[in-house]
A and B are shown apart, each in its own frame.
Chain A
Amino acid sequence: MNPTPLLAIQNLQAGVEEKKILKGINLVLRPGEVHAIMGPNGSGKSTLAALLAGREGYEVTAGEVIYQGQDLLAMAPEERARAGVFLAFQYPVEIPGVNSTYFLRAALNECRKHRGQPELDAMEFLTVVKEKMKLLELKDDLLKRAVNVGFSGGEKKRNEIFQMAVLEPKLAILDETDSGLDIDALRIVAGGVNKLKRPDNATLLITHYQRLLNYIVPDFVHVLWDGRIVKSGGKELALELEEKGYDWLVHHDKVTT
């Protein structure tokens, strides 16, 4: 069985101004798969996540990204979100004065409109949300607060996954979601991600450490080094990296995918 890819990245090269960061990424995600991209700081992991989500300021010099048959890079960030792309931020943004409920309902209704579903009123939305909050063990008062304002680091990360649970994306990209999490928070976040896994969606985990992969088991692990995927393998590759360090790969002869 080899279903149509959800996401196909081909020879993606991109950077900022004169600096090239991604130097030819090739990656295919199919529905139901969990992929992990690992790599040291500065290898281009967060740039890849930002490019997929639609952050401005990067220049794509070659290659393409096809998402569900569409040219992803030509879409505005909100169009990507509505089409089912979700980025869990490494550093979630605080938005003072914007109420969490109001914000998330607006977001969900945009996504629902796009899918041809009716918009949810305040009561219906609350029902949906209450259930998802339990999944992430979040307190009710979070909904009354401004988006991410006054949240602890762990709460912010859990809030990202909570938003993901509400928006039900097809492609979830988790950018260093494990960083700054204690073990309990990590377990809750990973539990949430695992419960959201479905045969028709895919997850891209971006992480520096193997730790997260003890909780969210990937089908594929890729190593990003200096803007290229230098090695791909199964989940055991993560363990090998943990044991031997990234140096092991580069001191080896160059390995291609």
Chain B
Amino acid sequence: MDRYSQAFTKFEQTRGVAQPPWLFPLRKAGLARFGELGFPTPKHEDWRFTNLAALAKLPFNPILTAPAEPPRSVLEQFPFSQLPGARLVFLDGHFSPALSTLPAQPDGVRVSSLSAALTEAPAWLEKQLGRTLRAEDNAFAALNNAFFLDGGVIHVPAGKTVPEPVQLLFISTSQEPGAVVHPRNLVVVEREARLTLLESYVSLATGATFTNAATEFALGDHAVVEHCKFQDESTEAYHLASLHSHLGRAVTFSSHSIVTGARLSRNHIRTTLDGEGIECVLNGVYLTDREQLADHYMLVDHAKPHCASHEYFNGILAGKSKGVFHGRILVRPGAQKTDAKQTNKNLLLSDDASADAKPQLEIYADDVKCTHGATIGQLNDESIYYMRTRGIDLETARRMLIHAFAGEIIDRVKYEPLREELDRLLWDRLEQIAEPALSR
């Protein structure tokens, strides 16, 4: 634990950003909680399939100063650079005004960096920051509380609509093993307000860096929010993220997770349905190759009746890569008429790829509909044969089926320009990783 305490002391001395007085206790508590929970090992039930030993061995060096700013043209190489709307760019966790685009927003809407919000709206932040993120049982959320420097803050007041999508782009530029960033995002969308948010994590360099992100969503009654997290960091990187959401009455929330990057990644998705009539879709696809591991850990907490939650996660696994899915649905007493559905499908493109799926239903109400299903397998031979009897060759048939498998997930993205770009992007990636499987 010493190195985290030492890093924290150094962090407090050198981070150089003024912070309101309430923040230090939050950080301190985060560090203490991390110390109590400790670095997870495979003995921990929630970490059975994802071994962090290699990450634990790395140094722990939070990046305290912003790197040299690359030219703006560097952004063009990353996906979604042509989408309209605001874009906040962070280099190794530090907000870059020069690379960011901040068009005027409707009255009262805040789209800013966390560092700016800390100076401009500390009282509001004090009430909001850390309210939804649950760090008690999550070591990395606790660690984020201790070390976060910057990130995006989006506040959409009641009844407002942010007309264009908002993007948060986190670029890792370091190749130093053990270089750590802790992005922290806060999204507050009040009643009857609307937002589309895209959160991307990418790399400019290859190295065993560590991103430990946390994003919290507080959505008021009848809010409509579409969120997409795109993780495409270098295949040496470690990426852990907590995505915790609190949903009010009749909220429509869809959150997509697209994972193509990192050597090891885990999204800890915790969603609390705390009002009636919520429609919540958690949707994701992970596409991995070589030694990559992509883990989604999910807790959907049905606290109120008459809510629907659907989780769809598809994994396409090549090389020696591994997919992990842990889906827990909790239906609390009184959450009658809950409609919860969960599926996890894995397509193994090589003999060495593997997948672990662990669905878990905990139901304390008697009038509910809960289903789950998990499959792990190869491409369907019957489908391939059927396509071939229509004149489509083996390789094209396989390619169409793999594409379809990813397409099931991408089709649920409602914002069309994003859906189309994701479709093209995954198609290109599939072409790269699926090549050996296609020519087999």
Q: Is the interface of A mostly helix, strand, loop or mixed?
A: helix
**A55 adjacent to chain B (CB < 8 Å):** yes
Q: Is the CB–CB distance between A93 and B391 below 8 Å?
A: no
Contacting pair A77 B396 (CB below 8 A): no
Q: Kindly state the separation between the CA atoms of A257 and B388 in the bound complex, as whole angstroms.
A: 34
- Whether, in the assembled complex, A95 has its beta carbon less than 8 Å from a beta carbon of chain B, the answer is yes
Interface size on A, residues (CB 8 A): 31
Complex contact B387–A103 (CB within 8 A): yes
Residue A62 CB within 8 A of the other chain: no
Q: A96-B404, A97-B407, A98-B404 are in contact. Are A53 and B389 (CB under 8 A)?
A: yes
Contact assessment for B389 and A54 in the assembled complex, using a CB-CB cutoff below 8 Å: yes
**Distance from A204 Cβ to chain B, minimum over Cβ atoms (Å):** 14
Interface residue ranges of A79-112 to B (CB < 8 Å): 80-82, 86-87, 89, 92-93, 95-98, 102-104, 106-108, 110-111
Closest to A84 in B: B391
Q: Check: A78 CB closer than 8 A to any chain B CB.
A: yes
Of B385, B403, B405, B407, the most chain A CB neighbours within 10 A belong to: B385
Q: Is B19 an interface position by the 8 A CB rule?
A: no
A76 within 8 A of B: yes
User: What residues on B are CB-neighbors of A114 within 8 Å?
Assistant: 391
Q: Does B6 contact A (CB under 8 A)?
A: no
B401 touches A95 (CB 8 A): yes
The 0/1 profile, CB within 8 Å of A marked 1, for residues 386-413 of chain B is 1111111110100011011101100000
Q: A13 near B: Cβ within 8 Å?
A: no
CB pair B408 A106 closer than 8 Å: no
A146, B394: Cα distance in complex, Å: 19
Q: List 20 A-B contacts (CB under 8 A).
A: A54-B388, A76-B393, A77-B385, A81-B389, A81-B391, A87-B389, A95-B386, A95-B387, A97-B408, A98-B383, A98-B387, A98-B400, A102-B400, A103-B390, A106-B392, A106-B400, A107-B390, A110-B390, A110-B391, A111-B391
New contact pairs (6) apart from A77-B389, A82-B391, A93-B386, CB-CB < 8 Å: A80-B389, A86-B389, A98-B400, A103-B392, A107-B387, A163-B390
**Contact partner, B404, options A89, A95, A111, A167, Cβ 8 Å:** A95
Query: How many B residues face the partner with a CB closer than 8 A?
Result: 20
Which residues of the partner chain A approach B385 to less than 8 Å between Cβ atoms?
55-56, 77, 93
Closest to B406 in A: A97
Question: Complex: how many Å from CA A114 to CA B404?
Answer: 26
Chain A 138-171, CB-CB to B under 8 Å as 1, else 0, gives: 0000000010000000000000000100010000
A81 to chain B: closest residue by CB: B391
Q: Answer yes or no: B382 CB below 8 A from chain A CBs.
A: yes
Q: Is the CB of A78 within 8 A of B407?
A: no
Contact with A along B218-245 (1 / 0, CB 8 A): 0000000000000000000000000000
Residue of B nearest to A89 (CB): B386
Q: How far is the CB of B378 from chain A (nearest CB, A)?
A: 15
Asked if A98 and B401 sit within 8 Å, CB to CB, the answer is yes
**Given contacts A96-B404, A96-B408, A98-B401, are A107 and B386 in contact (CB under 8 A)?**
no
Question: CA–CA, A143 to B252, complex, Å?
Answer: 30
Contact of A110 among B383, B392, B394, B401 (CB under 8 A): B392
Which partner residue on chain A sits nearest B408 by CB separation?
A97
Chain B residues in 8 Å Cβ range of A55 = 385
Q: Which of B391, B392, B405 contacts A97 (CB 8 A)?
A: B405
Contact assessment for A167 and B391 in the assembled complex, using a CB-CB cutoff below 8 Å: yes
